[in-house]
Amino acid sequence: MVELIIDGQKVLTHPGATVLEAALANNIDIPRLCHHPELSISGGCRLCIVNVDGYPNPTPSCGLTCEDGMSIETQNAELFQTRREILDLFISEHPLDCVTCDKSGDCLLQKYAYDFGISKTSHEFEISKPLYQDDNPFFIRDHQYCILCGRCVRVCDEVVGASAIDFAGRGFECHIATPFDGPMKDSTCVFCGNCVQVCPTAALMPVSRIGNGREWELERVKTICGYCGVGCQIEYALNNGEIIYAQSKPDAPVNGEFLCAKGRYGWDFATNPDRLSSPMLRRDLAFELGLTSESWELPDKSPLKIRNPKIEDSFIPVDWDTALDFVAESLANTVKEHGPDSVMGLSSARCTNEDNYIFQKFLRLGIGTNNLDHCARL
């Protein structure tokens, strides 16, 4: 273990930990914009600077490895003033549109501006990157809010492995770009939205979020994504009962705050009018059972050629008991009449491992057949 002193407090940490990590683990907060616990170190925002005994200048704590006997001071009047002046520079090129900005309440720059009491810049305001890119259905890139923390670049490189974006240009004209500033769809982007997740400002926002409610008024629902067997945790944000966007929190087991394109953007099906909300029984069978007065016959035209088929034409909703009774009886009759191997079970990668386990147990032990397959094998 390494022992050092932070703000007069003795702190024990494992070898290789940075001063920032050690401080955060001991409830000492240090302001930071470009640091992210899952990503490599940048050191570019300069907010996490601390005073180190024996060092001539304040040093960024995000990259400073703890050493035995180090003495660190994370805050004092001078550091406060320096950090405030750095924020002053940030907002000299960042429009303070907090009143109507959808990131309000979730924005790190806004948080630190509040913490350091800085509401307008003392410099001449000039936007360095007046670029607005709305070239894909998933997220908007509004560069005027970008603080070049580089988190999006690092997450795309290190976590996703797509490396679709990087810093381009130099100095004041530096901006985050796809190769040759081309459209997102022509890059290696997989639209997982993890860049949007880690962006601390409104530079990257989901399209579906814009103008759809204030951060603090949205309802949050935690659930498990149904798209594949990994079973990532998702937190949907709802405005008036409608899903606005999906994200995940760092403490989520399995995936932390990272999702894929399906989980993050593929939730429209949840409120799609075509989605089934109760079991449906084929109209001709329901007619036989006396559950409906109108039957259904196979049309002359192939069902595949019917555009926008109305589901009520061929199915009627029934309650679960009716449905389960019907299925159980029909399955049992089929097995009795034609033997267990006349039944086949086809499952899906979207079911959880547990569901798939029960499914195959049912088929093998309940029905008595090994006719089992899975969508991934096809």
Enumerate binding residues for other proteins (CB under 8 A): 41-46, 49, 57-58, 60, 62-65, 82, 85-86, 89-90, 92-93, 122-124, 126, 128, 147-148, 150, 166-167, 169-174
Q: Residue 3: in which H helix or E strand, if any?
A: strand 2-6
What is the Cα–Cα distance from 125 to 131, expressed in whole angstroms?
Answer: 16
Q: Shortest approach of other proteins to residue 204 CB, angstroms?
A: 18
Q: Shortest approach of other proteins to residue 74 CB, angstroms?
A: 16
| In 28-165, beta strands by DSSP E | 49-52, 59-60, 71-73, 132-133, 139-142
Distances (CA, A) of 88 to 74, 84, 91, 116, 122: 20, 6, 5, 10, 7
Walk across the sheet containing 132-133 and list its strands.
132-133, 139-142, 204-206
What is the Cα–Cα distance from 267 to 340, expressed in whole angstroms?
Answer: 38
CA 17 centroid distance within chain:
27
Strand-strand pairing, 132-133 and 139-142: antiparallel
Which C-beta is closer to other proteins: that of 149 or that of 243? 149
Q: Shortest approach of other proteins to residue 165 CB, angstroms?
A: 12
Q: Shortest approach of other proteins to residue 317 CB, angstroms?
A: 59
**What is the token pair recorded at 148?**
């070049």
Q: Shortest approach of other proteins to residue 207 CB, angstroms?
A: 27
Distances (CA, A) of 225 to 9, 77, 197, 222, 262: 43, 47, 17, 10, 9
Q: Is residue 203 a contact partner of residue 132, using CB atoms and an 8 Å limit?
A: no
Which C-beta is closer to other proteins: that of 51 or that of 136? 51
Which C-beta is closer to other proteins: that of 6 or that of 87? 87
Which C-beta is closer to other proteins: that of 59 or that of 322? 59
What is the Cα–Cα distance from 341 to 347, expressed in whole angstroms?
Answer: 17
Which C-beta is closer to other proteins: that of 129 or that of 264? 129
Work out the number of other CB atoms within 10 angstroms of the CB of residue 363.
Answer: 19
Q: Shortest approach of other proteins to residue 173 CB, angstroms?
A: 8
Which C-beta is closer to other proteins: that of 109 or that of 218? 109
Q: What does the angle CA 315 – CA 349 – CA 155 come to, to the nearest 5 degrees?
A: 125
What is the Cα–Cα distance from 213 to 45, expressed in whole angstroms?
Answer: 30
Which C-beta is closer to other proteins: that of 54 or that of 253? 54
Q: Is residue 265 a contact partner of residue 246, using CB atoms and an 8 Å limit?
A: yes
Which C-beta is closer to other proteins: that of 47 or that of 184? 47
- Sign of the Cα torsion 65, 71, 75, 81 reads negative
Q: Shortest approach of other proteins to residue 35 CB, angstroms?
A: 12
Q: Shortest approach of other proteins to residue 133 CB, angstroms?
A: 18
Which C-beta is closer to other proteins: that of 52 or that of 205? 52
Q: Shortest approach of other proteins to residue 197 CB, angstroms?
A: 22
